[in-house]
A and B are shown apart, each in its own frame.
Chain A
Amino acid sequence: IINGRPTQKGTTPWIAMLSHLNGQPFCGGSLLGSKWIVTAAHCLHEAPDSEGLSLHDLGLLSPSAFKIIMGKLRRTQSDENEQSLSVKQVFFHPLYNPNTYENDVALLELLRGPVLNDFVMPICLPQGPPEEGAMVIVSGWGKQFLQRFPETLMEIEIPIVDHHICREAYAPLKKKVTRDMICAGEKEGGRDACAGDSGGPMVTLDTQRGQWYLVGTVSWGVDCGKKDRYGVYSYIFHNKDWIRRVTGMSN
């Protein structure tokens, strides 16, 4: 997270850390319901080394090759409330495209759900699209300015960006911003997610219900925090039906 601030303990109890078995974190995620993690699909396979490859051509991360840690705050040191969980099964979005990051979303079914408490709690699914220009909070243990990893969970508070503006901003770079994506950040850059934050939550508060809900998951961007380089997130509301079907949850 570029230009972020440390997250206060317990204010993001849905965030999940995807970590290699050697303890090396590599992505973020969010807890849904009692035993599901939503994250970015591109976290779960090796990076494509050429264009035009399909998911089946890529080495997928086996469910037993990584773990999920809930209740986490510090990046590498252990936390008193952390809970380490195994993954039972991985569900890629059927229309996920590893070359364009379309539908860059995956669901992880946990072998056993975490014990919910003040530091572990699921995020709600959206009931509708976020308001125009709503402020969202993006959290992660990814790189900061000067490429350093943080000690602890970081967060930024940024506005949602109009889809058309975002699409125009990336057009010169030949990057497609499709309907299943949502952008956030400032025009002049500054606060943004970055490598290592992928899959992590972009949330906002539903002031009527008094509940936070998941707007997007960190997906891609060009550089981090540069001017006119908005952060692009996988748009959860767009893929809610798929999420409901796979998890069997309504909300």
Chain B
Amino acid sequence: HIVELNNMFGQIQSPGYPDAYPSDSEVTWNITVPEGFRIKLYFMHFNLESSYLCEYDYVKVETEDQVLATFCGRETTDTEQTPGQEVVLSPGSFMSITFRSDFSDEERFTGFDAHYVAVDVDECTEREDEELSCDHYCHNYIGGYYCSCRFGYILHTDNRTCRVECSDNLFTQRTGMITSPDFPSPYPKSSECLYTIELEEGFMISLQFEDIFDIEDHPEVSCPYDYIKIKAGPKVLGPFCGEKAPEPINTQSHSVQILFRSDNSGENRGWRLSYRATGNECPKLQPPVHGKIEPLQTTYSFKDQVLISCDTGYKVLKDNVEMDTFQMECLKDGTWSSKIPTCKIADCGAPAELENGVVTFSTRNNLTTYKSEIRYSCQRPYYKMLHNITGVYTCSAQGVWMNEVLGRSQPTCLPVCGIPKFSRNLLAR
């Protein structure tokens, strides 16, 4: 006779309890409670016929695949076991209790009175099976548990492992360092990371794995769990795993994708690689006369830029346009974006006329270039210079006539007042 019980608690008694139980009977109670609970069984009364190893009458408590206990008799001896004050806990949410009495009973045995109750399983403390335990944080609640993850991680759809969002890493610099998440701490599980190195066409990217390389592998099968793959143009390199890093890789491509995948188990420290992008080299440059190139390098390659500037007092001249600096770039075909410009001495040009004054050149043949000097003077005796300055102007490096007092402002000739050339014979006595 089988009784199915689905409540969260209940009472089970031997047939006829509290009267003696009948002989030759067998009743099974199958208790099922929800997942996340287990069953606690305890007896308030137990009185069965005793027999060696309970071969006559007994109460057997078992789960789907194991016998948890077999009770008989009135008290525990070395060959029989009664429940006493003990409770019996089922490992899972199912428990089956079978009462059996054989055909003969010399005495009247009153059988048993048992109670069961569903008790929560604290999955967080009891989970041994790594496959099922939470990856980072476990939160138990009545009837179940859930997992959560550390900051920066996302709970995987298996609701157990924690992964990181790492599918949109874009690297555009010409050099860089890429590592597995949390390197050198173990990388997260169940993650699908994609690192893209995207540079302008003309660059060639080379990769170099460094120090620790530790990706979960398998002795026989090639990288069945976690692996790293490298896609460069049409080529796909890998998958790589294990503890031996791949040799330096020259991808010959300006766009590389690194795919790193981890499954939902394992504690491996991951990997780190550095990459460098180089382009075609451009020919060496000679600085212009009175000029310089910055930065000065032994070689220049694609995308390298140089700034041409001239010494003080000189201007960069390019296509008849004067400028302070001129930038050139090494193109992807290994040629410079432009020819080297020349340096032209700053020329202040003819100085502006001075009202009621004159300008004289103090350098040979009226030079007006950098460091040349001119002198403004006022038409004496009728005008004199305001501010009483020397009137000397020097052609500055910016191509402007400059005076040490007035700067680039022109002097002013003021009329001399009250000093007539002819003085009267003063008649005053």
State whether these chains interact.
Answer: yes
* CB-based contact B424/A8 at 8 Å: yes
Contacts of B383 in A (CB 8 A): 116
* CB-based contact A13/B415 at 8 Å: no
Q: Does B142 contact A (CB under 8 A)?
A: no
Q: Which of B356, B414, B415, B419 contacts A212 (CB 8 A)?
A: B419
In chain A between 214 and 234, which residues have their CB closer than 8 angstroms to a CB of chain B? none
* CB-based contact B420/A116 at 8 Å: no
Q: Does B103 contact A (CB under 8 A)?
A: no
Given contacts A10-B420, A116-B383, contact A121 B415 (CB under 8 A): yes
Q: Which of B415, B424, B428 contacts A116 (CB 8 A)?
A: B415
Give 1 or 0 for each of A130-164: 1 = CB within 8 Å of chain B CB: 00000101000000000000000000010000000
Q: Report the nearest B residue to A113, measured CB to CB.
A: B415
Most chain A CB atoms below 10 A, which of B382, B414, B426, B428 = B382
Q: Report the nearest B residue to A11, measured CB to CB.
A: B424
Q: Does A198 contact B (CB under 8 A)?
A: no
* CB-based contact B420/A121 at 8 Å: yes
Which size bracket describes the interface of A in this complex?
A: 20 to 34
How far apart are the CA atoms of A65 and B416 in the complex, in Å?
30
* CB-based contact A34/B356 at 8 Å: yes
How far apart are the CA atoms of A203 and B418 in the complex, in Å?
9
Q: Does B423 contact A (CB under 8 A)?
A: yes
How far apart are the CA atoms of A211 and B382 in the complex, in Å?
13
Which size bracket describes the interface of B in this complex?
A: 10 to 19
* CB-based contact A122/B356 at 8 Å: no
Q: Does B379 contact A (CB under 8 A)?
A: yes
Q: How far is the CB of A153 from chain B (nearest CB, A)?
A: 12
Q: Which of A11, A203, A211 contacts B422 (CB 8 A)?
A: A11
Contacts of A13 in B (CB 8 A): 420-421
Q: How far is the CB of B193 from chain A (nearest CB, A)?
A: 76
Given contacts A34-B356, A116-B383, A157-B427, contact A8 B417 (CB under 8 A): no
* CB-based contact B417/A34 at 8 Å: no
Q: How far is the CB of B294 from chain A (nearest CB, A)?
A: 50
How far apart are the CA atoms of A7 and B422 in the complex, in Å?
11
Contacts of B419 in A (CB 8 A): 121, 210-212
Given contacts A34-B356, A116-B379, contact A123 B424 (CB under 8 A): no
Q: How far is the CB of A167 from chain B (nearest CB, A)?
A: 26
* CB-based contact B422/A9 at 8 Å: yes
Contacts of A11 in B (CB 8 A): 420, 422-424
Give 1 or 0 for each of B395-429: 1 = CB within 8 Å of chain A CB: 00000000000000000001111111111111110
* CB-based contact A34/B424 at 8 Å: no
Contacts of A116 in B (CB 8 A): 356, 379, 382-383, 415-416
Q: Does A22 contact B (CB under 8 A)?
A: no
Q: Does A12 contact B (CB under 8 A)?
A: yes
* CB-based contact B415/A118 at 8 Å: no
Q: How far is the CB of B337 from chain A (nearest CB, A)?
A: 54
* CB-based contact B422/A121 at 8 Å: no
How far apart are the CA atoms of A203 and B420 in the complex, in Å?
12
Q: How far is the CB of A103 from chain B (nearest CB, A)?
A: 23
* CB-based contact B418/A211 at 8 Å: yes
11 pairs from A and B in contact (CB 8 Å cutoff): A7-B424, A8-B422, A8-B424, A10-B420, A13-B420, A14-B417, A116-B416, A117-B382, A121-B420, A122-B418, A212-B418
**Which residues of B are interface residues toward A (Cβ below 8 A)?**
356, 379, 382-383, 414-428
**Which residues of A are interface residues toward B (Cβ below 8 A)?**
5, 7-14, 32-34, 116-118, 121-125, 135, 137, 157, 203, 206, 210-213, 251
**Which 10 A-B pairs give the minimum distances between C-beta atoms?**
A10-B422, A116-B382, A211-B418, A212-B418, A124-B418, A124-B417, A11-B424, A118-B421, A122-B417, A122-B415
A-B contacts besides A8-B425, A116-B382, A122-B416, 19 pairs, CB < 8 Å:
A8-B424, A10-B420, A11-B423, A11-B424, A13-B420, A14-B417, A33-B417, A34-B414, A121-B382, A121-B415, A121-B416, A121-B420, A122-B417, A123-B418, A124-B418, A137-B424, A157-B426, A212-B418, A212-B419
